[in-house]
Each structure stands twice: as C-alpha cells, then as structure tokens.
Amino acid sequence: MERPVILDCRGVWKLYGQNPREFLTRHNGAPSDQDLADNRIIGAVRDASVKIRKGEIFVIMGLSGSGKSTLVRCLSRLVEPTAGEIRFEGSDLLSMSDEELIHVRRKKMGMVFQHFALLPHLTVLQNAAFPLDVQGVDRRTREEKARQMIEIVGLTGREDYYPRQLSGGQQQRVGIARSLVADPDLWFLDEPFSALDPLIRREMQDEFLRLQSMLHKTIVFITHDFEEAIRLADRIAVMKDGRIEQTATPEELVLRPATPYVEEFTRHIPRAKVMKLRSVMSPGVPEASYAGELAGSLTVDAAIEQIDGAAHPFKVVDEEGTAIGTIDARAAIDVMIGRISA
C-alpha cells in the first residue's frame, strides 16, 4: 500500500551567515538556538527530514519566515544546503554535476512561484513554451505542446497576450502551464496562490485539485495558510523557525498534535473539515436500507449535506469500492458540532 519514495531528504540544514559549514561542524552538526544567535547565524532550515511519496500532495506549512521557501529550494537545489542528504529517485541530488542537474530540471521537475516569475517580454504562449525552447525543441512542437497546456489551465484565447495584460490569477495559470509543459514528475509550488485575492484563491485551489486528478504528479506544495493546507494535502509538514514540528495527515495533525505549537495552530480548525468518513464511520455493514455510497476519503464537511438530507444512512466504501462501514446523520452531526465520543 505504501507508495515509493521519490524524494528523500534527511537532516538538511541551511544556515546563512559567516562560514556556516565550519560553524556547523564546530557544534557537532547540532547547534542550539543560543549558538546560532551568538554567532549571528540565521538558521533558515534546521535538520529537516521529509520523504515525499509518488503521487501524493505533500504540503509544507508554516508562518512567514519559517523556512518553507528555503527548504523547497534545497529540495530543487536552487539553494545549496549547508548539510544533509537529499536523494531524488534514488540518486544523490547534492552530488550531481551541473549537467546532470540541468537534465533533471529539464525533464523531471517543474516549479511554480509565488509572484509568478513570468518573462515580461514573452507572450502567454511563448512563456508556456519556454522550458521546451530552452531544451531546443523545435517551434512547431513546442507551441503545440504549450497550446495544450494553455487549454488545460483554461487560458485558450489569450495565447498572444503579454503577462502584464493578465490578472494575477491568469498569470499564475500561465506559471502553472509553464511548469507542466515539459511533463515533470515532481512538481514544486511555492505559495502559488498567496498573492491572489481570497475568492480567486479558492477557485485556483479547485482548479489545482482538478489538474492533479488528471495528471497524478508528485507534489510539494508550500503555503502559510492552514485552511489551504488541509484542503489540498495528503500529508502536511508543519515548520517553525526552520524546524519541522510534525509531519502527518491533516486528520492526525488535528487529532493528535505532536507539539504545543501545532496544537495552537490546529485548535481553531473545525474537525469536520479534516475528519474523513473512514475514521468516523461505524465499521461493518449490516443488512439494512441505505441511501447510497460515499467514499471513505471524503471529509465529513464535504459529505454532510448529502448525509443529513437522506432518510437512511450511507455505506462508506474504500478505494476499491468495497463497503467497509456505514455513517448516519447523527454521527456526522456529532462531528460537525464537536460532540465527539472518541
């Protein structure tokens, strides 16, 4: 059942300041807060370990300045980690030559940026085709591929616009098209929707989920917005001051926070938004009349209207469509109003 690990990052440090490497060895690879402060060194990422599995949406969540961007840049080697080990599809990312790295980035990685990072002198079409242009793909082929991507992100008709003629949401769609045009396996998104208005943000999140249901990429998604994290994530890593506090599913994070910081963070999150039917159902399916079937991976919040509106309970089914339990309106409402009997 466990899917293979695509990106394996162990004990990664990124320090800014004078002679960070030497500083790290001097403190046996584990300097304390005090050591950092005494040496005027910023610990942007501290001893971070994450395993990213094929096809999952892995969200890194934390307040501004907690080191999310630095971590994701270490994972793509835009930033050279001070210490640690990163393996991508089994090979050592940090020891790759420039040439190998260029190859990996061209074929296997895509990235979306917070402020879109579009090239101002290129049209939408040319921006979307840019990664292929860099690879030397001929014009016809790359523009055809770019047109497909533009269609997928819903910008057909705007191919000849320049970035400055588009709204923020549209610009980010171009950014997404560009990051996907070379068909990468691993997709990084650094706060892709943070620069957008709340309404647009919501729309883009739906769009993102729709895309992922089509494309099945392995995704590392950065956000500072916990609601966004729980909406999108299969698993979440919570960061604070450069350290990863806890890595878990949204549900676990809310139900079993590992540190006071995570608890503080998750306290105001309505449980119905994270609890899956799978974990609140009554196991076993006795003979009775049912209103229908619901996927166990749905959250209570997403299913409540259906459950509450029906005269009978629902069957809960797993990924293969086998019924594994039942849920009725009362159980669901208990979760909604926090009257949970665990």
Ligand X SMILES: Nc1ncnc2c1ncn2[C@@H]1O[C@H](COP(=O)(O)OP(=O)(O)O)[C@@H](O)[C@H]1O
Give Cα separations from 50 to 77, 137, 325, 338 (angstroms).
15, 35, 33, 32
CB-based contact 315:294 (threshold 8 Å):
yes
Q: Which amino acid is at 121?
A: H
How would you classify the pairing of strands 57-62 and 235-240?
parallel
Q: What is the rounded distance in angstroms from the CA atom of residue 274 to the CA atom of residue 296? A: 12
Q: What is the rounded distance in angstroms from the CA atom of residue 70 to the CA atom of residue 190? A: 10
CB-based contact 40:85 (threshold 8 Å):
no
Is residue 42 involved in binding ligand X (CB under 6 A)? yes
Is residue 274 involved in binding other proteins (CB under 8 A)? no
Is residue 30 involved in binding other proteins (CB under 8 A)? no
In the list 52, 86, 109, 298, the residue contacting other proteins (rule: CB under 8 A) is 109
Using the rule CB under 8 A, give the single segment among 108-116, 244-252, 295-303, 304-312 that binds other proteins. Answer: 108-116
Residue matched to tokens 């690990």: 5
Is residue 69 involved in binding Mg ion (CB under 5 A)? yes
Tokens of 292: 């229908």
The binding track of 110-149 with respect to other proteins, each residue x by CB under 8 A or -, is xx-xxxxxxxxxxx------xx-xxx--------------
204 C-beta neighbours (distance < 10 Å), count: 20
Is residue 171 involved in binding Mg ion (CB under 5 A)? no
Number of residues engaging ligand X in binding (CB under 6 A): 11
Using the rule CB under 5 A, give the single segment among 64-72, 199-207, 269-277, 302-310 that binds Mg ion. Answer: 64-72
Tokens of 52: 């990213």
* Residue with Cβ nearer other proteins (165 or 259): 165
Q: What is the rounded distance in angstroms from the CA atom of residue 152 to the CA atom of residue 266? A: 34
* Residue with Cβ nearer other proteins (105 or 278): 105
Is residue 326 involved in binding Mg ion (CB under 5 A)? no
Footprint on residues 67-86 left by ligand X (CB under 6 A): 67-70
Q: Which residues contact 248 (CB under 8 A, 6 or more apart)?
A: 235, 236, 256, 258
Is residue 249 involved in binding other proteins (CB under 8 A)? no
Q: Which residues bind ligand X (CB under 6 A)?
A: 16, 42, 44, 62, 64-70
Q: Which residues bind other proteins (CB under 8 A)?
A: 73, 76, 78, 102-103, 105-107, 109-111, 113-123, 130-131, 133-135, 160, 162, 165, 178-179, 182, 188
Q: Which residues bind Mg ion (CB under 5 A)?
A: 69
